[in-house]
Structure 1
């Protein structure tokens, strides 16, 4: 079963996540998402890409149960995450993300790679990687939130809500859940009405003047994820999550 659906209307491509129960994707799912976003970026009938989701939340990240069963799959998952975020950030078309409910792990990577983020008032942002025995998300989180907020979220695993995300400048707009798609389409239509060539040049220019290389920063984090996965504590973190029990670490 494919993890998403795609439709194109008047220059706006909608990619909609729909993998119950929590839109957590396995390694094949992430690879498919990356490939589709890349394809949409090259499609002549697409001017703007909108990513949103159905279900309880936007995206819970990677499929921890898959990794708990076979930790060697972390390499394929890392590749899928990297290619997805890069496909968004480096896409020649503007990418808008509309989120609701939980925005975790890979969901943060998608938001941090995007050009614009809109949120339903029920949205909550978090990076539970440390509690899952992994690293990742910090590079993209720092495109959304201030440095010390990022560290607090990263070290504690605590989430912040849509109102706080808006206060910190991470999201463009906060609306009711039922109004989220319409609000995102309103922004998408405004961009789609512009000159495609001018918008493409604008995105290239804005990416060029960013501080540092986002993909290089994230690749460094992924290297530390591989290091983390070699530890017994990482396996214990994943096992305890799957088994729904408290983790017991050696220190």
Structure 2
């Protein structure tokens, strides 16, 4: 796939790589749209049973591309709709989705990792809501998807970063490996998962999604409304 993503498949496993290493894989509008499109297609493709998400270069993702913030009403609508599309595609992906966290996963990049089903971290990985000092409220709903409630509150209130070993100790990541091994190890884990029948994997994932909707669905919807109101002001809210 040309553009801001690389998409590779090895049998039943696909690997999606964010390809803005010079920007620490900051999530631009176009990258968010490409990610939503790629995951939509992979979710519908019967030959794919498991997907790995990772970043090119030294970072998993530094979060939203803040250089694109602001602009006229049309641009702000693109900011909102591309954000909702990308994060919803990750959050509701219908098959197992693993994160190979090759470096810092910050702000929106942390949210991407949180919404994956399993995370394998390089020793260089760091996790946290770096947007807090900019006055942007972190996603408490995303934090609750992967860490205990007291830690979710702490991270959202302080912006403290977790290193890879602490992330493993609190259950945020399944494994910590040497930096060069994070993608190969995550792909190997994905192949283990993909040995199981697709129908079984889809049913297991359906249960994950159902539990998440019951536990955090209202909170996710509220966070989306706040995002729309912050960026679009008094425009009609289609999510209302």
Q: Counterpart in 2 of 1:186?
A: 188
Shift in CA distance, 72/108, structure 1 to aligned 2, threshold 3 Å: farther
**Residue 57 (structure 1) aligned with residue 28 (structure 2):** no
C-alpha displacement of 1:69: 5.5
Q: Give the aligned length.
A: 231
Q: Counterpart in 2 of 1:124?
A: 126
19-28 vs 127-136, greater mean Cα deviation: 127-136
Q: Counterpart in 1 of 2:207?
A: 205
Contact 2:104 2:125 in 1 (8 A): yes
Q: 1:168 and 1:74 mapped to 2: Cα distance?
A: 37
C-alpha displacement of 1:21: 2.4
Deviations 1:90-139 (A, max 9, x none): 22211111102210122122112111111111111111233223234221
Q: 1:73 and 1:153 mapped to 2: Cα distance?
A: 30
Q: Counterpart in 2 of 1:15?
A: 16
Alignment of 1:1-251 (within 5 A): 2-19=3-20, 20-68=22-70, 73-210=75-212, 212=214, 214-228=216-230
Contact 1:24 1:62 in 2 (8 A): yes
Q: 2:213 and 2:92 mapped to 1: Cα distance?
A: 15
Report the TM-score when normalising by structure 1: 0.83
RMSD: 2.2
Q: 1:62 and 1:79 mapped to 2: Cα distance?
A: 13
C-alpha displacement of 1:140: 0.8
Q: Secondary structure at the match of 1:169?
A: coil
C-alpha displacement of 1:66: 1.0
Q: Counterpart in 1 of 2:237?
A: none
Shift in CA distance, 214/39, structure 1 to aligned 2, threshold 3 Å: farther
Q: 2:144 and 2:41 mapped to 1: Cα distance?
A: 27
C-alpha displacement of 1:156: 2.0
Q: Secondary structure at the match of 1:174?
A: strand
- Give ranges in structure 2 of 5+ residues lacking alignment: 234-240
Q: Which runs of 4+ in 1 moved over 6 A?
A: none
Q: Counterpart in 2 of 1:249?
A: none
Shift in CA distance, 211/171, structure 1 to aligned 2, threshold 3 Å: same
Deviations 1:155-200 (A, max 9, x none): 2222111111111111111111011111101110111111111111
- Give ranges in structure 1 of 5+ residues lacking alignment: 232-251
Contact 2:97 2:117 in 1 (8 A): yes
